[in-house]
């Protein structure tokens, strides 16, 4: 009984449909590394978080049988990357009051679980890299954040039918690591945990270049190492401002430490639903980190 891996890998989104449906989810705090395998975010109440009126049915299955023919461009690429996410913490209580997200900071209630391992010396070998959990509701697994990642491992997660993928930044000196995993109860939710800070600009230019494609939204949040300050009550209010009406040129927002690049999809042939959801789709960047041993 142990492993049950359900292979859910890439979905087949084939052609039609925009697999880019993301919704805000909650961020969860990482449990203790070994030993503490208790409940992960499995018990999250993510869906409860959405209180946004315009997002009533996020689960619209991508299965649009019909495929928009004119989509020849890559813009509807499945692997596109939409993203919307939020953060919240609390592994036990996930019920976040809809309407407000909470960011967990190290200065807040962080539960110091420090235990051992610190043999006298502190810190030198174990750089405390902050762990940033990023939850995104997406049917697809490829969350394009604007960086190139190389998969260096995959392991099955206990208590989860889906495996966890380990990615590392392909940058030369960027030791940023990324962990991607799907919620066991909500396969529609993808949990991406970023570890480390990027020291190089995103290789992926925010401009698609070509034509049209729009896909993409990048969220760059970096968790400072060694202590950062918690961001004040970050509310989506700010995010609502940036509508993609014509801000294509300056999609960069800076939130205390994170920058959110929202490249909206320029004109898409099938903007039918996009328009409806597109507007409300934003992501709430937050930084949450957990110190590691």
Partner DNA sequence: CGGTTTTGACCAGCGC
Partner DNA sequence: GCGCTGGTCAAAACCG
Distance of CA 17 to the CA centre of its chain: 21
* List of long-range contacts for 204-207, beta carbons under 8 Å, 24+ apart: 204/144, 204/146, 204/147, 204/148, 206/146, 206/251, 206/261, 206/263
55 touches Zn ion (CB under 5 A): no
Count of CB atoms within 10 A of residue 130's CB? 23
Output the CA torsion sign for 85, 171, 149, 31: negative
* Residue 177 C-beta: closest distance to Zn ion, Å: 10
For Zn ion, the closer of residues 203 and 233 by Cβ is 203
For DNA, the closer of residues 55 and 140 by Cβ is 140
* Residue 123 C-beta: closest distance to DNA, Å: 14
CA distance from start to end of the chain: 31
For DNA, the closer of residues 101 and 139 by Cβ is 139
What residues line the site for DNA (CB under 7 A)? 2, 33-35, 37, 115-117, 148-158, 164, 166, 168, 170, 177, 179, 293
* Residue 74 C-beta: closest distance to DNA, Å: 13
Q: Which of residues 152-171 bind Zn ion (CB under 5 A)?
A: 169, 171
Instruction: Choose the one of Zn ion, DNA, none that binds residue 169, judging by a C-beta under 5 to 8 angstroms depending on kind.
Output: Zn ion
What is the C-alpha to C-alpha distance for residues 165 and 158, in angstroms, rounded to an integer?
13
Instruction: Choose the one of DNA, Zn ion, none that binds residue 158, judging by a C-beta under 5 to 8 angstroms depending on kind.
Output: DNA
Contact status, residue 258 vs residue 218, Cβ threshold 8 Å:
no
Q: By the criterion CB under 5 A, which residues form the site for Zn ion?
A: 169, 171, 174, 176, 198
């Amino acid at each position: 009984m142990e492993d049950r891996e359900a292979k859910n890998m890439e979905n087949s989104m084939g052609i039609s449909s925009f697999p880019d449906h993301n919704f805000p989810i909650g961020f969860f705090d990482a449990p203790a590394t070994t030993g503490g395998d208790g409940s992960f975010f499995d018990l999250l109440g993510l869906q409860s978080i959405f209180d946004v009126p315009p997002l009533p049915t996020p689960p619209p299955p991508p299965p649009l049988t019909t495929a928009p023919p004119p989509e020849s461009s890559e813009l509807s690429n499945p692997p596109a990357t939409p993203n919307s996410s939020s953060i919240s913490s609390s592994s036990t209580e996930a019920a976040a009051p809809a309407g407000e997200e909470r960011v967990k900071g190290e200065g807040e209630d962080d539960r110091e679980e420090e235990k051992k391992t610190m043999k006298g010396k502190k810190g030198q070998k174990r750089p405390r890299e902050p762990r940033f959990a990023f939850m995104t509701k997406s049917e697809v697994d490829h969350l394009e954040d604007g960086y190139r990642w190389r998969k260096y491992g995959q392991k099955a997660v206990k208590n989860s039918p889906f495996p966890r993928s380990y990615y590392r930044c392909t940058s030369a000196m960027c030791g940023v690591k990324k962990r991607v995993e799907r919620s066991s109860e909500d396969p529609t939710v993808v949990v991406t945990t970023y570890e480390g800070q990027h020291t190089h600009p995103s290789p992926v230019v925010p401009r698609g270049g070509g034509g049209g494609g729009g896909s993409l939204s990048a969220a760059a949040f970096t968790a400072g190492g060694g202590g950062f300050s918690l961001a004040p009550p970050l509310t989506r209010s700010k995010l609502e401002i940036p509508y993609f009406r014509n801000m294509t040129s300056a999609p960069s927002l800076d939130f205390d430490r994170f920058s959110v690049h929202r490249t909206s999809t320029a004109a898409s042939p099938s903007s039918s639903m996009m328009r409806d959801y597109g507007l409300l789709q934003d992501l709430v960047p937050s930084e949450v980190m957990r110190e590691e041993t």
